Amino acid sequence: MTDTLTRDAIAQKIKRLEYRNMAFIDGHFVPARSGKTFPTLNPATGEVLTEVAACDTEDVDLAVKAARRAFDLGVWSRLAPAERKAIMKRFADLIDEHRLELAILESLEAGKPIGECFNVDIPDTANTIRWNAETADKLYDAVAPTAPDVVATVRREPLGVVGAVLPWNFPAMMVGWKLGPALVTGNCVIVKPAQLTSLTTIRIAELGHQAGIPAGVLNVVPGLGSTAGQALGMHPDVDLIAFTGSTAVGRRFLEYSAATNLKRVALELGGKNPQVVMPDVSDLKTVASNVLASAFWNMGENCSAGSRLIVHRSIKDALLDEMLVQLETEWKTGDPLDPEVRLGALIQKDHMDKVLGFIDRAKAAGLTALTGGEQILEETGGYFVAPTIFDDVPTDAEIAREEIFGPVLAVIPFDTEDEAIAIANDTCYGLAASLWSDDLSTVHRMSAAIRAGTVSVNCFSEGDITTPFGGYKQSGFGGRDKSVYAHEHYTELKTTWIKVG
Ligand code: NDP
């Protein structure tokens, strides 16, 4: 890995940057059949980066046909697992080799800080594909405990054609989380990136092709949700939709499935995640730095953002004081291409206005922002919102209940452990939670009581590639991203029952 993250390296790379902005179908870049395009913008400046192919029903159908053909020919699904592993490892290596280029694309199109893209998002994408690749020839299927006159094998088989529909907040990571398990289990995939962030996904597909993934196995159809997304959801020859995005659109995919071929639907949806801080914590500095990271990482545009700080009343003010100091000194906001910046731009003006709407309504309801509460850096033309903390938020306030998907933290005090658990679970979501306590028994009791897919204790974490990621309740169902558990929703179980003569 030769790339380093310096201002000079970034400037040099940007000069030579070429945008891949067409669909990628059956191993070729192609324009949309209609010839239509849509602009994709840099949210830090409001400027158009390029025009992207606007795929619709016809393009999706071409991609599904290419994927089905590749699947039926067995050019991928019937490779020896070790061969799939080798190609996927090359794919991961190529992502690593293009780390800076991909990090810049990701930062330019999504407004994300380049340091995060370079140090977290792109390496995580490569690592996810590599880790899944390694499982190809290490997981065994089963022989059932039948009577001696029968041999019954239970094998996992690929589903066939998978549609992956992605959100805009982690474009590269989400493509990795879907492609890793889908490809290693032998499926052919059509990816529909979010219209706001297509560029990294298209480039990653090209690198996959370069690594040796056969034509038709990995396709990308950029376009709008209401056109390309719906066409994929409704297509009668798609076997699974693996979706990450909002709960509202997740519901739509269930409707598409019910109205068509009962395709499987795996949903990773939203969250309104609690961070519970118990009064026995001794290291408030560490708690403060993790609470801030959980709330404001990726500008709060994160399904696992800890947007509710549920803190014991006796330590609330001391913790908030420490957080305000760290926010001031350690959280530089501004140009996402500056390696020192930790808070970049929100994804688009409409989304910024939505976030500011939540803030304005909270103020109108009498809540006080301890810090932030407004748009900043307007002179850049970009969509920046100051990190915002509201203190003493009632549990029924809009900002304590709705997923804001922006840098807004609601602080909710509590007095007893039971009250803390009740507040943490008082949400229709259950994606992630953090718990802070120095007492082992408290940790065991409370982490069991909190209803969330991942409870991180004394840290802010989504786990790593070895642990499943996904939610309880309306945060999704039908599958988990990451770990070998993810393979389950990309495979069918096939029983072969052999009578022994
Ligand atoms: P959306 O649900 O709006 O969009 C997700 C994808 O669905 C996009 O590709 C979008 O297309 C597409 N889409 C939109 N409408 C339709 C439709 N009617 N039919 C078919 N497809 C459609 O989510 P966002 O992109 O705004 O992402 C934010 C959401 O994602 C948040 O709620 C967040 O919590 C959740 N999320 C969950 C994660 C998890 O792992 N649980 C991880 C990351 C985010 P387009 O935008 O191009 O129109």
Q: Is residue 271 within 6 Å of ligand 1 at its C-beta?
A: yes
**Could you give the CA distance from residue 104 to residue 100 in angstroms, rounded to a whole number?**
6
Atom of ligand 1 nearest to the CA of 223: 47
Percent of the chain at pLDDT > 70 equals: 100
Indicate left, alpha or beta for 136 from its phi (over 0: left) and psi (-120 to 50: alpha). Answer: alpha
Has this prediction a pTM greater than 0.95? yes
C-alpha to C-alpha distance for 395 and 411, rounded to whole angstroms: 10
What pLDDT score does 478 carry?
A: 82
Residue whose Cα lies nearest atom 15 of ligand 1: it is 225
What's the average model confidence in pLDDT over 488-500? 97
Phi and psi for 277 in degrees, rounded to 5?
-115, 115
Confidence of residue 4 (pLDDT cuts 50, 70, 90): confident
Distance 194 CA to ligand 1 centre (A): 7
Inter-residue contact 462 to 469 (CB < 8 Å): yes
Identify the residue whose C-alpha is closest to ligand 1 atom 48.
225
In a 3-state reduction of DSSP, which class is residue 189? Answer: strand
Kindly write down the DSSP assignment for every residue of 301-361, as one continuous string: --TT---EEEEEHHHHHHHHHHHHHHHHHH--BS-TTSTT-SB---S-HHHHHHHHHHHHH
Strand 23-25 and strand 28-30: the pairing is: antiparallel
By the 8 A CB rule, do 34 and 147 touch?
A: no
Q: How far is the CA of 171 from the centre of ligand 1 (A)?
A: 11
Tell whether ligand 1 has an atom less than 6 A from the beta carbon of residue 167: yes
User: Ligand 1: does its nearest atom lie under 6 Å from the Cβ of 479?
Assistant: no
Per-residue pLDDT, averaged over 174-197, amounts to 98
Burial class (CB in 10 A: 0-12, 13-18, 19+), 11: exposed
What distance in Å separates the CA atoms of residue 349 and residue 363, rounded to the nearest whole number?
Answer: 21
Any ligand 1 atom below 6 A from CB of 249 = yes
Beta-carbon-side half-sphere exposure of residue 3 (alpha carbons within 13 Å): 23
CA of 244 to the centre of ligand 1 (A): 6
**Ligand 1 proximity of 309 Cβ (cutoff 6 Å):** no
Burial class (CB in 10 A: 0-12, 13-18, 19+), 326: middle
* Residue of 57, 11, 10, 15 whose CA lies nearest to 32: 57
Q: For residue 329, which amino acid is it?
A: T
Residue to mutate, 56, 202, 244, ligand 1, most ligand atoms under 8 Å from C-beta: 244
In this prediction, residue 58 has a pLDDT band, given cuts at 50, 70 and 90, of very high
Judge if the beta carbon of residue 192 lies within 6 A of ligand 1: yes
Contact present, 186 and 80 (Cβ < 8 Å) = no
Q: Closest ligand 1 atom to the C-alpha of 481?
A: 40
- Each residue of 286-305: pLDDT tens digit? 999 999 999 999 999 999 99
Q: Is the CB of 431 under 6 A from ligand 1?
A: yes
Active site members = 268
**CB of 304 within 8 A of CB of 273?**
yes
pLDDT digits (tens, 9 = 90+) for 243-266: 999 999 999 999 999 999 999 999
Ligand 1 atom nearest the C-alpha of 471 is 41
Ligand 1 and 169: CB distance under 6 A: yes
pLDDT at 382: 98
Q: Which protein residue has the closest C-alpha to ligand 1 atom 31?
A: 246
pLDDT given for residue 2 in this prediction: 57
Residue 64 has pLDDT above 70, yes or no: yes
Q: How many C-beta atoms lie closer than 10 Å to residue 58's C-beta?
A: 12
CA distances for 398 relative to 98, 210, 321, 357, 361, angstroms: 42, 48, 25, 11, 8
Radius of gyration of the chain (CA): 23
Cβ 172 under 6 angstroms from ligand 1: no
Give the ligand 1 atom nearest the CA of 475: 41
Cα separation, 307 vs 406, in Å, equals 9
Nearest CA to ligand 1 atom 9: 194
| CA distance between the termini of the chain | 58
Q: With 90 as the cut, is the pLDDT of residue 270 above it? A: yes
Average pLDDT over residues 150-174: 98
Rounded to an integer, the average pLDDT of 403-409 is 98
Residues 471-487 have pLDDT tens digits of 999 999 887 899 999 99
How, if at all, do strands 408-414 and 308-312 pair?
parallel
Average per-residue pLDDT for the chain: 97
- Report how far ligand 1's centroid is from the alpha carbon of 245 (Å): 3
Closest CA to 133 of 81, 77, 97: 81
pLDDT at 3: 74
